[in-house]
Amino acid sequence: MNYTHLSSVLLLASAAFTSTADDNAQYSLETLHVMSLNELLNLEVISASRTKEKIIDAPANITVVTAQTIHQRGYQNLIDVLRDVPGFDFANIEDSAGEYTTHSVNRGLGGSPGNVQLLILVDGVVQNHIGFNWSQPWGNQQIFADLKKIEIIQGPGSASYGANAYSGVIHFITAANNDEVTDQFSTLFGQNNLRTSSFVVDTQLSELYLQASGRLSETDGDLGVARYDPAGYFSAQPWPLTQTQDYANEQYLTGSANPNAGQLQSAGFNNQSKDWALRGKATWQPLNKNLGITRINLAFNKWSQQQGLGSYVAGFEYQTRAKSYQKHHEAAHVALDVDYQINNNTQLTSKLWYRENKQLPQTGFQYSYRFVDLVKSYHSTNSQIGFEQQVQFDQIDSNWLLGYRVQQSEKMDQVVSLGQYQSGQDASTHSSWDIAASGLGLNQYANSGTREVDERAAYIQYQANYQDWFDYTLGLRYDHSDEYGSTINPRLALIYNADRLVENIDWRIKFLYGQAFREPSIFELTDEFRGNNHLKPESINTYEIVSHWVSNNDVYDASLKAAVFYSQQKDVITLQAQDSESGSMFINGKSDDTYGFSLDSHWNISSQINAYANYQFTEGENNASTLSLQHTAKHKINWGVSLDSFEQKLNINFRMNHLLSRATPPSNRYFVGQAPSVSLANLVVSWHGWSTSSVTITPQLLINNLFDKQFLGVGRQDGSSDINRYDPEYNINPNGFTPPYHPQPGRTIAANIKVTF
């Protein structure tokens, strides 16, 4: 893309998004500024039970982030969004999670490499990695321009969605017609040569709706050199004097001289990135037709991420500034949805999809203590085809939902090479790492192998209303896979309508129970250092009580959601510290219990001022030797204020995140049980005042970490690397490679300009 040309159109601006209460209503950006919280909480959601219902009545602890909120707060990716939602913690607040998609925790669950135990959907299509289960995409390869809303469910969802809906579900829902989004283009420029462009265009041709969107984001990164790094994990440490392994003239050597001995390694880490994504849909909806086919939707989504691995591993054992220190992942899907109305009360929905994940051969790195001139690289390809049939029976006070799903996946073990990037995506290499590391020669052929996995599922759900004051939902799902056998997951939701107890208040009290599972991924089973082929699926039971009320009067406009949860896990897949090269190994822990509560409040103080505040307390007990909970802030507080002035043309949005009592695992030798608490501020200033009859221009100023705080993310997984054990002569490869902390960026400033046509 020609960024010289883009700079000439820097006056392009952001579009107004919409969010609807029903399929026929339209709410512009300006309308959402003055909508009451009661109106917002009566918007419809679909993720909680796979049927349309109001947010306040949904049988789940659900948070909805509208397109207007995304715009107003300047969110650029999913990490930005979830930082302001109760319960979510991140080891890295930027999109730089090493080989994986992110290192995050939701209400104490997650934290192992890539295993954040969340299911992510885009318009009902699963986005989790087919072979590794990783939740994705989290970063700038996710398109926001075409979104209608993001629905966030906390709590198990396997009764509706099957595997990976373990700690929750995140559902990206795109605009469904041209009443919900307008043609727009945006461009963002920031420090470190950051430039991001996105667009969405759509048109209505009688009964056919067409939409296309895209995004391209690139940055040179700050290379980690100016970040807070108190122990020097990414400073200019001396190169090892020798190599534990090497090849010279095709001869295998041990203890050979390091060609870089006597020099200092480059400081910092490669965090350059180039992300792009394309998405589109064609939707046919016949006019004035109530029976037969009422909707056909064909959609595609493709993204690519090529990114430096950041502070993923310790900088004295790996060449973290090398160009080879990067990942290159791609994913794509095509999906066909058909809705068929059998009669006034019965609807049949069919979905057919094909998905693909690629780990491209440019994914890799170089060691500092062995094979220093050779790249260790990874590649794999995973694919899946599936079909799901669902039928919904609606009655006056109840409805039934029945469905089944069949899918077949082809999963490839990671192919690991040394010295040559492979030219294809076959399950083989002509430069085997395993053979080379065993001293048996370079450029040797090896086959990794693939697994063909058949899966099938059936589910049933019944929802009913009793005398307008009591709703209940019962659900049950059966899943079977060639990999993990069979599992049955139930759900129960009881919702009491407490409106009659307090005047001028819409109040729901929800009693929720859910069960979920997550099977071990290929990565956890076969990783070269930490893999364990004897892993079993992990499972969870969660009990939760949610009280949600919102004002329903003209005197004050406020809402409050309080939730108390208790989760019991079995066979948790976690890392056990051990005295080995990796410092840890995947195991099934005996059990984990996590519990806590949250408060989430919103106020429209006036037509110009609105505010929010939320608090999350998370604690737990476990019998395993390491615990994902120990990467969690026991207390987390988020709050923010939005101010409109100059007749709502100027919007100032100020937000704070406070992370308190951040526990660390015992294997983390840098922190003694806890990482320092941190408070971060973010500011977004938007101007909505430039418009003509056909164009609206909205510039934004975005400042993250406003007060330029020096802070560290808690080291991912075990954080067991100890820089004090490194010695360039006597201990060139100390146990453990995961740093105990991740240096985070200081203040960053960007300008975002959008235009709506």
pLDDT of residue 589: 78
* Bridge pairing between strands 168-174 and 118-122: parallel
Q: Is the pLDDT of residue 3 over 90?
A: no
Residue 306 domain flag: yes
Query: How far, in Å, CA of 260 to CA of 97, rounded?
Result: 28
Residue 386 domain flag: yes
Residue 443 domain flag: no
Mean pLDDT over residues 75-80, rounded? 94
pLDDT of residue 96: 66
What is the band of 579 on the pLDDT scale with cuts at 50, 70, 90?
A: low
Mean pLDDT of the chain: 89
What is the band of 113 on the pLDDT scale with cuts at 50, 70, 90?
A: low
Mean pLDDT over residues 490-502, rounded? 93
Query: How far, in Å, CA of 200 to CA of 189, rounded?
Result: 19
Q: Is the pLDDT of residue 601 over 60?
A: yes
Q: Is the pLDDT of residue 523 over 80?
A: no
Mean pLDDT over residues 587-601, rounded? 88
Residue 358 domain flag: yes
pLDDT tens digit sequence for 284-343: 999 888 899 999 999 999 999 999 999 999 999 999 999 999 999 999 999 999 999 999
Q: Is the pLDDT of residue 26 over 70?
A: no
Of 106, 113, 100, 83, give the one whose Cα is nearest residue 629.
Answer: 106
* Bridge pairing between strands 678-687 and 696-704: antiparallel
Could you give the percent of the chain with pLDDT greater than 90? 70
pLDDT of residue 755: 94
pLDDT of residue 581: 60
pLDDT tens digit sequence for 405-451: 999 999 998 899 999 899 888 999 999 999 999 999 999 999 988 88
Q: Is the pLDDT of residue 13 over 70?
A: no
Helix or strand or coil: residue 108? coil
Element (H, E) at 160: helix 158-161
Query: How far, in Å, CA of 419 to CA of 438, rounded?
Result: 14
Mean pLDDT over residues 238-263, rounded? 95
Query: How far, in Å, CA of 133 to CA of 154, rounded?
Result: 18
Which one is predicted more confidently, 634 or 590?
Answer: 634
pLDDT of residue 111: 67
Residue 337 domain flag: yes
Mean pLDDT over residues 346-369, rounded? 96
Domain, as residue range, for 267: 3-413+449-756
Residue 434 domain flag: no
Rounded to the nearest angstrom, the gap between the alpha carbon of residue 114 and the centroid of all alpha carbons in its chain is 10
Question: What are the distances in angstroms from CA 398 to CA 274, 342, 391, 498, 680?
Answer: 49, 18, 14, 20, 46
pLDDT of residue 404: 97
Phi, psi of 164 (to 5 degrees): 80, -15
Residue 438 domain flag: no
Residue 423 domain flag: no
The CATH number of the domain holding residue 555 is 2.40.170.20
What is the band of 114 on the pLDDT scale with cuts at 50, 70, 90?
A: low
Q: What is the pTM of this model?
A: 0.93
* Positive/negative CA dihedral, 63, 134, 705, 721: positive
Query: How far, in Å, CA of 739 to CA of 320, rounded?
Result: 12
Q: Is the pLDDT of residue 25 over 80?
A: no
Q: How many domains does the chain have?
A: 1
